[in-house]
Amino acid sequence: MFKQTFINLLKNAGITVNGQKSWDMRVRSDEVYRQALRRGNLGLGETYMDMCWDCDRLDAFIYRLVSAGLDKRKYLTSALIFFKSWFINAQKITRARQVGERHYDLGNELYQSFLDSRMQYSCGYWLKADNLEQAQIDKLDLICRKLRLKAGETVLDIGCGWGGFAKYAAENYGVKVTGLTISVEQAKFAREFCRNLPVDILTADYREHRGKYDKIVSVGMFEHVGPKNYRTYMEVVNRCLKDDGIFLLHTIGGLVDSLNTDAWIEKYIFPNGVIPSMRQIIAATDGLLVNRDVHEFGHDYDKTLMAWWDRFNLAWPELNKHNSKYDKRFYRMWKYYLQSCAGAFRAEKLRLWQIVFTKPGVKSDYSEVR
């Protein structure tokens, strides 16, 4: 029963079980059918990690699955995550560091293996770029130009990662940057990376920070804030931003309001993460900030993720040889993560927004920058 139902569903997406196309599934165990139908992407992802099925082009497989709407089927695991999100603030301060410990602290050598030289773990800007390195430089410069950075200004970087933006902005625009991260490993790397520059890296939750800044930026961090904290986050931005300042938010976005995330991503990649909708973001800023510009380039995340995958795959033999925690199951988990996310962006289920804000009541001549 499970097998035929699953096969029929995939036919709607142009996917053939044990077919010859690069996006077709090759199933080694009938357990795949039961797990996928009962547990959705959690079952599909786990059976892939356990080598119960394979596919030459996971990105193309997921793209077709999502484009056909098969990801919208409701499963028990999704319901359980929904109720947890409804009753529990999964991103409160005492829990917020979980994602740092479980994802960002996996080892800097892992991230150095597939990220660019500035360690940018967010979408690059491919308008004129033809490689990952240039796409990330162009993204950083785009942000600096949108913020209208001037020498001597102070900048707060909420979720500074490994310090790539802080280093770029300090070196190229002469600003002073304070970076916040909840990852111990990121903080260690960022401090060394930005040594001898006017950059201060703090291991702290955004809610704990005080200070006033000319500009504020947050790149790829808002996905970890959670709906119960969106308003608090924007209150912190409002409190820390000078009256004539500019705030830029760079975040993955979804088309509908959400209280939870995909069950497989929640369990294996980003615990407690939630993708915000535009409506949730704007509602959180009501009376605090005014939206001046929205720039959407989610198609660039497809390119970024596939570039990360190519670099990770190339580096894998060395990673596997020198660190026992990077085993075959980890390799398949990382492949499923990077390529399935690429497919979701390609299908436009996920978006990438850069949103520029100023404070209300401030007359602004702000014009878009591309």
Do 241 and 213 touch, CB atoms closer than 8 A?
A: yes
Q: For residue 1, which amino acid is it?
A: M
Which residues are CB-neighbours of 105 under 8 A, at least 6 positions away?
183, 184, 185, 186
Q: For residue 151, which amino acid is it?
A: A
What is the β-pairing status of strands 176-181 and 199-203? Answer: parallel
Question: CA-CA distance, 38 to 76, in Å (whole number)?
Answer: 7
Do 355 and 235 touch, CB atoms closer than 8 A?
A: no
Question: CA-CA distance, 139 to 303, in Å (whole number)?
Answer: 13
Q: Is 251 helix (H, G, I), strand (E, B) or coil?
A: strand
Of the residues 52, 55, 123, 341, only one is catalytic, namely 341
Do 157 and 220 touch, CB atoms closer than 8 A?
A: no
What is the β-pairing status of strands 241-254 and 213-219? Answer: parallel
Alpha helices (H) in 97-240, listed in sequence order? 98-99, 108-114, 132-146, 164-173, 184-193, 230-240
Question: CA-CA distance, 270 to 182, in Å (whole number)?
Answer: 14
52 catalytic? Reply is: no
Q: What is the DSSP letter of 100?
A: I
Which residues are CB-neighbours of 15 under 8 A, at least 6 positions away?
21, 23, 24, 25, 61, 64, 65
Length of the chain (residues): 370
Do 255 and 279 touch, CB atoms closer than 8 A?
A: no
Which residues are CB-neighbours of 57 under 8 A, at least 6 positions away?
22, 23, 339
Q: What is the DSSP letter of 276?
A: P
Do 298 and 350 touch, CB atoms closer than 8 A?
A: yes
What is the β-pairing status of strands 350-358 and 290-296? Answer: antiparallel
- As given in the structure block, the two tokens for residue 237 are 């931005």
> Which residues are marked as active site?
341
